[in-house]
Amino acid sequence: MTNDIWMNLGIQNSFSQDYGLLYDNLALTASALAAFLMLLLLHRVSSLYRASQLSRHETEEGNAVGFSSQLIDFAQFHINSVHQGAGEKRVFEDQENRSEVGLFFIGAVEFVVKMNGLSSKQRHMLIVELLRESLGFSAKEVSKVYSQALVTCSNSPSKNTVKLGAKAFKEWSTNDFSGSVHLSTVLS
């Protein structure tokens, strides 16, 4: 009977319509909140992934930088020994000698890469930096010498300047000069 009174007054319909709108608004708000939280979660996962990639890249570069200074010291040691042995003669002006020296230094890089499990990207970075720092090579010269190193390694296994460079770096890094492979022997 109470319902009849409320219905006669039109109040019951208004209450049920208000609750219906309230439920609709509540469901819509909950859906929007769930979508927002999902987007927030995706954004967070994405930013964490990018941060890990950046961290991995920085770690790779950090490893390569440590080896880079060691390789540059090795190169300077051999360049200085050639200058001392040749007097003030301009040994490195001849393009063929520069290529041989580049191959020798690439051998040192190959040894470092192999012994430390570095990536091909790190290998490339080390080769470019070493040849630019020690010999003043341009990007074109670096590419030429690197492709020459690839051809030399596959065609001539006996007298390979790259292998001699790797052996020289091994001796230099362990202070074992018993085999005494030097850059001057390659240039003579």
Q: Is the pTM of this model over 0.85?
A: no
User: pLDDT band at 17, cuts 50/70/90?
Assistant: low
First to last CA, the chain: 118
Residue 50 has pLDDT above 50, yes or no: yes
Distances (CA, A) of 167 to 107, 148, 181, 183, 187: 8, 19, 7, 11, 16
Residue 117 has pLDDT above 80, yes or no: yes
Q: How many Å apart are CA 181 and CA 168, to the nearest integer?
A: 5
pLDDT at 118: 83
Residue 31 maps to a domain: no
User: pLDDT band at 37, cuts 50/70/90?
Assistant: very high
Q: Which two tokens stand for residue 90?
A: 């301009």
pLDDT at 8: 56
The number of domains in the chain is 1
Residue 50 maps to a domain: no
Mean pLDDT (whole number) for 52-76: 68
**Residue 172's domain spans which residues?**
64-187
Mean pLDDT (whole number) for 151-176: 74
Mean pLDDT (whole number) for 5-15: 53
Mean pLDDT (whole number) for 129-138: 85
Residue 70 maps to a domain: yes
Question: Rounded mean pLDDT of the chain?
Answer: 75
Q: Which two tokens stand for residue 39?
A: 């987007």
- 3-class DSSP assignment, residue 182: coil
Residue 83 maps to a domain: yes
Residue 26 maps to a domain: no
Residue 76 has pLDDT above 80, yes or no: yes
Contacts of 152 (CB under 8 A, 6+ apart): 103, 160, 161, 162
Residue 91 has pLDDT above 70, yes or no: no
pLDDT at 158: 44
Residue 34 has pLDDT above 90, yes or no: yes
Residue 34 maps to a domain: no
Residue 84, amino acid: Q
